Amino acid sequence: MDLRVGVIGTGAIGEDHIRRLTNVITGVKVAAISDINAVKAKRIADKFGAKFYNTGEEVIEAPEVDAIVIASWDPTHAQYVIESIKAGKFVFCEKPLATSADDCKRIVQAEIVGGKQLVQVGFMRRYDRGYGQIKSVIENGEIGAPLILHCVHRNRIPGPKHTTEMNIKNSVIHEIDVLRWLLGEDYKTAQVLMPKCSSLSENGLQDPQIVLLETQSGIRIDIESFVNCQYGYDVQCEVVGETGTVRLPDPANVVMRSSGARSYEIFPDWMDRFVEAYDAELRQWVDAVKEGALKGPTAWDGYVACITSDACSEAREKGTIVSIFIPECPAFYK
């Protein structure tokens, strides 16, 4: 029997997830759709044979919906996740889980009170083949203990409403989660450096930014966040170990030799760069919901990521190194 999913939010990622759940992944059906842009949501609902609802709450309460996908405006995430928990429905929430650590804590508490893990957070880089290979190299001890990580997260252009805060809250939060997953430890301190601002930045956007993190064991991490690099979407990660290094591979695009030059395409955005990871992520989620036990990033992972991103924001505002306090993980999530 197909899993019947309700999707809240039909922006770029929401519409792409609807397409993915309909055309790519088997054993699932998009049954209900809602978005604040009712005209677009109705058009997409008609296109994919789903029922349109006026509000996200109506989607969550709909009897024909077994599980929820939240891809709406970030400040609405906490409300919809908590309502899904109260309804006893599995919920996949795009990152961030919430826009504040306090709201993430409310979600964690609601899930623990409910007695069952129902929440998965959309940290899709854990499903990227390259990051998975790096994790295997680290866990197998092939480069010795990790000492330093160098990371880059560049976007071709920022969205029309992108702010300085969003460099961390919407972009670097991916690195915050996936590097914690790679290394298996939490962070201890955060610092944010503000290099010379690009002359192409508009509306007061401070870009690029450099985030410096230290883990509990002393591993040092530098992350360049540049959302207006112009040339394409570029994600890089190199782990320096005691006896070697391992680096995230570039996408396997064809190499062209022509006019005295050798070149290959750099993807324009994240949807193309990580399409396979997004497919794998939702495929696993659908299968796990059917089995009744989630396997992906938890609400606790979303909480820790938000605590860390809040510390990074504080460090940027104060111009200092900020200590990061991560509470002990409840047994519920171990």
Q: What integer pLDDT is reported at residue 149 of this predicted model? A: 99
Give the model's pLDDT for residue 232.
Answer: 95
Helices 12-19, 38-48: crossing angle, 10 deg rounding: 10
Domain topology for 3-125+276-305: Rossmann fold (3.40.50)
Torsion of Cα atoms, 72 then 73 then 75 then 76, to 10°: -30
pLDDT confidence of residue 283: 98
Q: Tokens standing for 202? A: 């508009």
Mean per-residue pLDDT pooled into runs of 10, the chain (334 residues): 97 97 98 97 97 98 98 97 99 97 98 98 98 98 99 95 94 98 98 97 95 99 98 97 96 84 86 95 98 98 98 97 97 95
Structural domain spans, the chain: 3-125+276-305, 129-268
Superfamily of domain 129-268: Dihydrodipicolinate Reductase; domain 2 (3.30.360.10)
Check residue 261 and give its pLDDT.
85
Q: What is the pTM of this model?
A: 0.95
Predicted local distance difference test score (pLDDT) of residue 185? 97
